[in-house]
Structure 1
Amino acid sequence: MKKFLVALMIAFLSLSAMSTVSAHPHHHDKDDDKFSVREELMISKKALKKYRDIDVALDEGFTGLMPGACVPKMGIHLIKPNRVDDAKLSITRPEILVYEPMKDGSYKLVAAEWYVPAEETNKTPYLFKQKFQGPMANHDGSPGKHYDLHAWLFKKNPDGMFEPENERVSCKYAK
């Protein structure tokens, strides 16, 4: 828990770097059409299961997107700053993990989010055969715009797997 709070405090340091990093806008594996979207989602979910333990995410370099902030109908976002520098997007390596604060003080992994700075592409990025949302202003108030795509891999979203908000996610127990 202490690691989590420390990570949230250093979030703004990573955010200023986010608007200047490079990331290619598309998933370009040679096997792009080899798997169905359902199979890709299963692959992604399997790869991310280890992050159900938030300490694993923190130990691997994920840090708070906005200190102490729980976004209503989304949750708490943890970003992996060096993943924004990746040369391509990957269904098994999202830039952001989304957690819901629970009553007992723990955090439940509910979604993954992929992020691309708008200045790094002249086309709308896509994964899972889904176009990203955007371009939109950076959520932290920093200059620039970005594209993003949410996948509610660990908590059912009645509005759909790729919708940005999930009415079933609560910030009631955020500290």
Structure 2
Amino acid sequence: MRRHLPTVTATVTAAATAALAGFVLAASAPALAHDGHDHDDPVTRPAASAAHSRAGAGAELARMRRDLARYTDVEVALADGYVPVSPCEVSPEGGMGVHYLNPALVGSTDPLAPAVLLYEPTADGGARLLGAEWFAVDADQDLATDDDRPSLLGRAFDGPMLGHSPDMPVHYDLHVWLFEPNPSGVFAAWNPRVDCQG
């Protein structure tokens, strides 16, 4: 079942549509291109990085959870530029929730600045924070190449993949389930514990 949060207004929906259209323009922006292999970046450096170790990644995930906890209040997310751009997404593999996008953060690989926050509608009409998603536009829009694949905490983004709507370009993304445990894994795209039922 898919449904929108009941509080989404026509104004927010218009902003979300504009944000999605911005993805297409962002595809040509060089600032959004990442090679995913920056060995001087302490967050994405392979085995030598503390963040790449199990203990290092655990500590970094805990730091992300602490910093992003302010978004448990969806009004804080809205004030910071996040707008809902999807219904509550579910599949046979589980759910993702409602995607709240901050267009200014598309392409970010900063662990504390995700482009997307994931919320599940609650029975009282509110929204419960589940996790975050980092989203980057594929520079050449070619599914056959991935030389600009970003990474976070030593984990390569999923993709490149087709957009999920006509306005969304070929992209990479990485889901991180910081606030809702995921039996499929902290970086899995779908979470079987998320059902969008409120």
Q: Name the TM tier (shorter chain).
A: 0.7 to 0.9
Please give the per-residue CA displacement for 1:71-90, whole angstroms capped at 9, x wherever unaligned: 01110000001112x6x510
User: What's the secondary structure of 2:147's corresponding residue?
Assistant: coil
Does residue 104 of structure 1 match 2:108?
no
Aligned equivalents of 1:83, 1:156: Cα separation in 2: 25
1:4–1:58 CA contact under 8 A, matched in 2: no
| Greater Rg over alpha carbons, structure | 2
Which structure 2 residue ranges, 5 or more long, are not aligned?
Answer: 44-48, 141-145
Aligned equivalents of 2:37, 2:57: Cα separation in 1: 13
Closer/same/farther in 2, CA of residues 165 and 55 from structure 1, 3 Å limit:
same
Does residue 44 of structure 1 match 2:64?
yes
TM-score normalised per structure 2: 0.77
Which of 164, 167, 170 aligns to 1:145? It is 170
User: What's the secondary structure of 1:99's corresponding residue?
Assistant: strand
1:150–1:164 CA contact under 8 A, matched in 2: yes
What RMSD over aligned residues (CA atoms) do the two structures have, in Å?
A: 2.2
Which structure 1 residue ranges, 5 or more long, are not aligned?
Answer: none
Which of 107, 114, 132 aligns to 1:94? It is 114
Q: When the two structures are aligned, how many residues end up with a matched partner? A: 169
Aligned equivalents of 1:38, 1:53: Cα separation in 2: 24
Does residue 122 of structure 1 match 2:144?
no
Aligned equivalents of 2:14, 2:196: Cα separation in 1: 18
1:133–1:148 CA contact under 8 A, matched in 2: yes
1:47 to partner: Cα distance:
1.2
1:101–1:108 CA contact under 8 A, matched in 2: yes
Q: Give % identity.
A: 31
Does residue 70 of structure 1 match 2:88?
yes
Map of 1:8 onto structure 2: 13
2:118–2:129 CA contact under 8 A, matched in 1: yes
Aligned equivalents of 1:157, 1:11: Cα separation in 2: 27
